[in-house]
Amino acid sequence: MTILNTPFETLYQTAPFSKIKNEDYLPAFLQAIKEAKAEIDAITNNPALPTFENTIEALDFSGEQLDRISNIFFNLNSAETNDEIQKIAQEVSPLLSEFSNDITLNETLFSRVKFVYDHKAELNLTIEQETLLDKKYKGFSRNGANLSGDKKEKLREIDKKLSQLKLKFGENVLAETNKFEMLLTNEANLSGLPDGAKEAALQLAESKNKKGWLITLDYPSYIPFMTYADNRNLRKKLAVAAGAKAFNSDENDNQDNVLQIVKLRYKRAQLLGYKTHAHFVLEERMAKTPDAVQNFLNELLEKAKPAAEKEFKDLEQFAKELDGIETLEKWDGAYYSEKLKQKLFNLDDQQLKPYFKLENVIEGVFTIAERLYDLKFEEIKTIDKYHEDVLTYKVSDTNGNLISILYADFFPRPGKRNGAWMTVFKPQYIKNGENSRPHISIVCNFTKPTKSKPSLLTFNEVTTLFHEFGHALHGMLANTTYPSLSGTNVFWDFVELPSQVLENWCYEKEALELFATHYETGKLIPMELITKIKASATFHEGMQTLRQISFGLLDMSWHSNESPESIDSVKVHESEVFKKTKLYPDVIENCMSTSFSHIFQGGYSSGYYSYKWAEVLDADAFEYFLEEGVFNKKVATKFKDHVLSRGGIEDPMTLYKRFRGKEPRPDALLKRAGLIKQE
């Protein structure tokens, strides 16, 4: 029995990270799986007739300890991993996959679930109970419960293999990110780079006992170099390395992993009676079918492509006039875009960064959440954490009731994957009359403070923080009975609404005035800069939209393909898909798919379109706030009551219409993006 298998004797029952040892995980998982199996046996061996309470509800609350351990372990595998944890993950993932199959392929258990499902008309269930019943029944039927014995075994083999391949994919991407270093010893090679980025590169080199300036593929190092460094050859070296992650035909290569994952997902879908993996996935999404997704992406493509091509042509012309660049390459995009933006709007990130000190932005997003949703945030230093950089907060309502515990992890390090995400250490649910509150975490990779400067965020990083905090609000404000319907447990193409809608406040004067003050003088961000931020918000929106569409089309090409067995080259397949959206010349050494973690490691397979789908929802939703006022309490309360707190209790469109009073229209997004004219 490890510390992970006992109730946590900590403040608010938070995870006792400092007391957990790596060697605790495997025995803890084995013990928790054993206990979860016993809970399943108790359901299947119950001599009483199946009821909603003794079967469906009991099933949803089973395995609570196993879920808790899994949340802790796999969150650390993303944010604070090492070789030992990765090795344990490879051992544990097949065990969890096997256990999951043991449940979904348990004929006795399914017969009980089916009995309740077949008698639901007589049960007088609440909407939440109906949704849970439907979800549990589909959880079985969509995962092989109706298959014959030999097909069930095939499904087990596929799921086991997929769990290992996805892990291996992520490990390879992380290893490739950590492996590349560009040490510069001549300061002339840093020409154009802002002082803060130079100092960070110097400090990074020092931390590794190297002389010079160290540039890596971690975003806080990579993005400033690609945006500001004058040395075109070095930008090329860095861009090619980033684009070639896990595409180098070495021990970290992901080409075979991509092909295996795609083919196994297709086989799995076929086994379950679906045409493709995308058909399987989208049955449980707002979009419903691959055709609907393709139509959605193609409709956006039609609107965005002319704008993108014009923007690209203008950028080519600008680079040619400025520096005689004959062919604009991928490593030129960010550099000349930034220069053109400065010329058009007289605005660049270096002007803005002094007004976005990380601590102030955190305080700002907290204040906005307080104004909208009556939340109070109090930093608590007595909560155990998994790394010294992590900040911990107690979140309460205006009456002092606990709403959530929030972890915030902002800086890159070797054991942490790139990007930004929100996750859950413990979900919200109501059991035995007690509303058990959630433990939520947001993870980002921002520039660390240096010896002379605090962590100053680019405007893009500010919107990233707001985005992840929007997800966090969805988790923190959850108020449902059942854990599997709580918080962000919603249709995947709805989950981005709370995150993307909150980004809108970053552009509003009333919100910026709450936190955008100069880190040295304390002066409020000048009105002219706010005006420029708003004016530049749609800069290169056509190109950005085209980029997102290209990723969505690539995802669908892998997962709605009816003959994946015929694909033998990841690069050739990808190049064919990108023809419709291509602006820059191809880079032969690069491949997107081999590091496309969203779809090959994360949960976005057949779902990358969700970002644009949710943008339609968020633009339409924020239009409502703009009509009534960005801090309008009535609109905020409706959003909290009908969206943020409701989790997956009902169909998302029902929840959305209850908030908005109507279905969303793409016009709001297209107007905001400047892709159609304002009326």
Answer yes or no: are the C-beta atoms of 4 and 24 closer than 8 Å: yes
In the structure encoding, which two tokens stand for residue 531, read together?
Answer: 């005006």
Of 540, 496, 500, 533, nearest to 304 (Cα)? 540
Give the DSSP H or E segment for 263: helix 255-271
In the structure encoding, which two tokens stand for residue 524, read together?
Answer: 């409020």
Measured distance CA(55)–CA(60) in Å, rounded: 9
Answer yes or no: are the C-beta atoms of 563 and 266 closer than 8 Å: no
CA dihedral 317, 322, 326, 328 (to 10 degrees): -70
Q: What residues contact 39, with CB distance under 8 A and at least 6 apart?
A: 58, 62, 63
Answer yes or no: are the C-beta atoms of 376 and 368 closer than 8 Å: no
Report CA torsion sign: 367, 373, 378, 383: negative
Residue 513 annotated as catalytic: no
Burial class (CB in 10 A: 0-12, 13-18, 19+), 521: exposed
CA distance readout (Å), 72 to 88, 287, 385, 494, 608: 13, 32, 11, 25, 26
Strands 421-426 and 402-409: unpaired
Range 12-50 burial, b when 16+ CB lie within 10 A, else e? bebbebeebeeebbbebbebbbeebbebbeebeeeeeeb
Single out the catalytic residue among 176, 468, 496, 574.
468
Catalytic residue list? 468
